[in-house]
Amino acid sequence: MLLAVVVIGVFQATYGALEILFRLDNSLVFGLPIRGMATGTFVYKNHYANYLMLCLSMGVGFLVSTLLAQKSASRTTQKLRNFLETLLHGKALVRIALAIMVIALVMSRSRMGNTAFFVSMSVVGLLSLFLIKKRTKGLSILIISMFIIDMFILSAWFGLDKVKTRLEQTSLSQETRDEVIRDSIPLLQDFALTGSGMGSFYGIFPKYQGEEIKAFYDHAHNDYLQFAVEAGIPATILLFMVPLLSAVSCIKAIRQRRNTLMKGTAFGCLMAIIGMAIHISVDFPLQAPANTALSMVILALGFQANNRAMR
């Protein structure tokens, strides 16, 4: 399953990156204007970035599982054997696949998509140093290489500076999302218990929005808020208990499981859960069916990683 997600992510990354590298004016699937931002087969660049973040997390989890399975290399012969196993078992290809996805993620110019990935990787990477007792040097090297090679070298060639510029230029005076959240509070108060109905935000928000909001907002750009408005606060709390419990299951698996595949799976799932928790605070990736479906698979894998019935 992890490798299947990586393959899908590489396809999306390659497709989206080629659109930019070939300088196409319109996307091949929908014929929508690209405007210098990779979107892949998605309409919205932030949905595309979120999907790549999920795929990257699963790819990192797979690599972590293979690194944990490697024997400690105290002799030159064992180091050579580990190197050959890395090449023959496809680990090198997965590492290349991760680099391709990072390039496409940067090309999406998504501020929070990039931030969510690198923050989640940093948090889980540091957490693993305390939870994984018998870790190999390869695990530390992998985490460091994701920063040095991907962020500072590959990303610099493919537009990391543009993402940095977008972050620096972001201000509350230019953004109207904070006004959307402000104007949604009365809406939340009116439908706190039972909600307004799923998918109803775009129809009822215009009645509450202030005069300074000129654009049409069909989503709240905050999935926590939108779920609370549409489903009600009690249902939203129950809904978001699922990823919380899955994250707890992942932490237990990383700390207690001996099976390296389960540890790696838990590592990737925890990365994805944290990254999604960050991203949905300023956008609406869970409103995209592809992202929601993949998120459900990842949550299930998170629970399964701590299943003692699995070897």
pLDDT in tens, 258-290: 888 999 999 999 999 999 999 999 899 999 999
Helix %, strand %, coil % for the chain, to 5? 70, 0, 30
Identify the weakest region by mean pLDDT among 117-121, 195-199, 212-216. Answer: 212-216
pLDDT digits (tens, 9 = 90+) for 217-260: 778 888 999 999 999 999 999 999 999 999 999 999 999 888 88
Q: How many Å separate Cα 66 from the centre of its chain?
A: 21
How much is the pTM?
0.85
What DSSP letter does each residue of 287-309 carry, written as one string? GSHHHHHHHHHHHHHHHHTT-TT
Where is pLDDT greater, at 197 or 298?
Answer: 298
pLDDT class for 131, splitting at 50, 70, 90? confident
Mean pLDDT within 148-164: 57
pLDDT at 173: 46
Contact status, residue 101 vs residue 9, Cβ threshold 8 Å: yes
pLDDT class for 171, splitting at 50, 70, 90? very low
Burial 114-150 (b: 16+ CB within 10 A, else e): bbbbbbbbeebbebbeebbeeebebbeebbebbeeeb
